[in-house]
């Protein structure tokens, strides 16, 4: 099974979760600046909501996918909104790539909110989640 992990992170929160997921499934976490270069069975895609959407770099990554993707598994960090799934699901629907119902989301630190998040427990939970997805 081929797995890839891509993420977009401004403050490092989503990057922490991406690295935990990637480590659990034995691949390298890469930013969305690195396009997919080969077919994958599972794409773990991480982002955070910005102004009730995902960053333009995430949109550009999704629109630029020109390989086969079996399914996308969304993960996200946020200080307020619980998930980015609905934002990315719409973009993947345009490409006819399914987004799994299972997803991982946790709090991320933002200014004085949720200081220290995601913490080690969040990273462990993300790794456990990823192992369940690929098993």
Question: pLDDT per residue over 32-47, tens digit each?
Answer: 999 999 999 999 999 9
For residue 16, is it within any domain?
Answer: yes
Beta strands per DSSP E along the chain = 3-7, 29-31, 40-47, 69-78, 104-107
pLDDT, position 29: 98
Spans of the chain, pLDDT less than 70: 79-81, 109-114, 116
For residue 80, is it within any domain?
Answer: yes
Q: Which domain holds residue 115?
A: 3-128
Which among 29, 6, 30 is positioned nearest to 84, based on CA atoms?
6
For residue 133, is it within any domain?
Answer: no
Q: How many independent structural domains does the chain possess?
A: 1
pLDDT, position 52: 77
8 A C-beta contact, residue 97 and residue 131:
no
For residue 115, is it within any domain?
Answer: yes
Q: Which two structure tokens, joined as six digits, stand for 56? A: 């333009």
pLDDT, position 132: 98
Output the domain CATH number for residue 71: 3.40.50.360
pLDDT, position 81: 65
CA distance linking residue 111 with residue 95, whole number of Å: 36
């Amino acid at each position: 099974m081929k797995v890839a992990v891509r993420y977009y992170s401004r403050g490092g929160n989503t990057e922490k979760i991406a690295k935990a997921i990637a480590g659990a499934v034995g691949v390298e976490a890469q930013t969305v600046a690195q396009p997919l270069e080969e077919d994958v069975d599972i794409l773990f895609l991480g982002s955070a909501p910005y102004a009730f959407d995902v960053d333009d770099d995430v949109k550009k990554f999704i629109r630029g996918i020109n390989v086969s993707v079996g399914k996308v598994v969304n993960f996200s960090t946020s200080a307020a909104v619980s998930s980015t799934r609905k934002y990315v699901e719409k973009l993947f629907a345009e490409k006819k790539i399914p987004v799994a119902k299972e997803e991982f989301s946790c709090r991320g630190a933002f200014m004085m909110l949720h200081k220290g998040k995601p913490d080690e427990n969040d990273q462990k939970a993300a790794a456990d989640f990823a192992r369940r997805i690929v098993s």
